[in-house]
């Protein structure tokens, strides 16, 4: 349903004009309408309008996915959070967006598409339904697409367990006014279902299904993929004082790095590693459609 603050006629008029100008880049009218809606979301100034556009974007992406062509888009041209992994029959796309509310909490949307030459569209796709009751910090739980914890997926890597591809994705979550979160987790698809998290993270506290960083909103923290050798590098985080242990609004980088290294089908924790320079810069670690804050 349209928000009374963003009437249907105005939305359709704006979207029609934007779609005409964006179709060549988005490659289809359905994709152009979805892209135009994201541009409108970036310009929306009220929470009610942002939430109304969020609902419209979910519908527009369903139309775009069913129209076909998701695997033909040059996603590098999109100013959204897109992870494009693998090739051929092993290709997987993860698309996500956020809506920041006035209290600085988040609502998320997204979809996952996996190549399937036997499917009528050449792929199968699944919408992600954000469940705000699901705890993103629970590192020992599997989350399904219909009870998704939310987050902006901004990077990923494909590794192999024998001949099986393992997709690991990195997420950003602007949790609230005090803290920010990032995490690494695996993603699995099967028969139209998507599961986030699997027991592939060998941590000091034991085998976990994801690794979560929590830190102060006022600071930036690195969580990125390095390709040579393949590993996930992150800032080591600690509180300003031992008295603040467990209070993540007081956590920040210590100027040292830790890593997850892929061996024998699992990510293995390694403390105090030498990190490569980030060629793209931390600004590329996630793309916040709201643009109202520069959190990383």
Q: What is the pTM of this model?
A: 0.88
Closest CA to 136 of 82, 96, 175: 175
Mean pLDDT by 10 residues, the chain (296 residues): 43 46 63 94 94 97 97 90 96 97 95 97 98 95 97 97 97 94 96 95 97 95 92 96 95 96 96 77 45 47
Angle CA(69)–CA(74)–CA(113) in degrees, nearest 5?
50
- What's the pLDDT score for residue 25? 53
Q: How far apart are CA 188 and CA 53, in angstroms?
A: 29
Q: How far apart are the first and last CA of the chain?
A: 33
- What's the pLDDT score for residue 191? 86
- What's the pLDDT score for residue 77? 87
Q: How far apart are CA 159 and CA 256, in angstroms?
A: 26
- What's the pLDDT score for residue 282? 44
What ranges make up the beta strands (E) of the chain? Answer: 81-85, 92-100, 106-115, 123-129, 143-144, 152-161, 164-173, 179-190, 193-196, 201-203, 206-208, 210-216, 223-227, 230-239, 251-263, 266-273
- What's the pLDDT score for residue 296? 56
- What's the pLDDT score for residue 294? 45
Q: Is 205 exposed, middle or buried (0-12, 13-18, 19+ CB in 10 A)?
A: exposed
Q: How far apart are CA 80 and CA 56, in angstroms?
A: 16
Q: How far apart are CA 175 and CA 188, in angstroms?
A: 24
- What's the pLDDT score for residue 69? 95
- What's the pLDDT score for residue 278? 65
CB 156 within 8 A of CB 230: no
């Amino acid at each position: 349903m349209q928000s009374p603050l963003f009437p249907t006629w105005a939305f359709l008029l704006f979207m029609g004009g934007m779609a005409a100008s964006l179709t060549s880049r988005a490659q289809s009218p359905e994709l152009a309408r979805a892209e135009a809606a994201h541009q409108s979301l970036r310009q929306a100034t009220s929470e009610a309008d942002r939430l109304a556009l969020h609902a419209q974007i979910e519908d527009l992406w369903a139309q775009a996915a069913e129209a076909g062509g998701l695997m033909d888009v040059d996603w590098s041209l999109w100013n959204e959070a897109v992870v494009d992994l693998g090739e051929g029959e092993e290709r997987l796309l993860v698309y996500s967006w956020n809506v920041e509310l006035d209290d600085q909490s988040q609502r998320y949307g997204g979809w996952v598409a996996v190549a399937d030459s036997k499917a009528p569209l050449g792929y199968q796709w699944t919408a992600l339904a954000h469940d705000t009751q699901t705890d993103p910090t629970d590192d020992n739980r599997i989350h399904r697409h219909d009870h998704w914890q939310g987050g902006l997926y901004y990077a990923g890597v494909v590794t192999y367990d024998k001949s099986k591809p393992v997709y690991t994705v990195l997420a950003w979550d602007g949790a609230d006014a005090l803290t920010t979160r990032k995490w690494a987790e695996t993603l699995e698809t099967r028969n139209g279902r998507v599961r986030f998290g699997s027991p592939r993270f060998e941590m000091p506290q034991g085998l976990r299904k994801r690794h979560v960083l929590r830190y102060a909103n006022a600071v930036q923290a690195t969580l990125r993929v390095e390709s040579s050798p393949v590993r996930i590098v992150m800032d080591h985080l600690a509180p300003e004082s031992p008295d603040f242990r467990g209070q993540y609004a007081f956590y920040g980088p210590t100027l040292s790095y830790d890593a997850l290294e892929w061996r024998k089908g699992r990510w293995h924790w390694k403390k105090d590693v030498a990190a490569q320079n980030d060629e793209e810069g931390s600004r590329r670690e996630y793309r916040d459609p709201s643009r109202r804050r520069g959190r990383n």
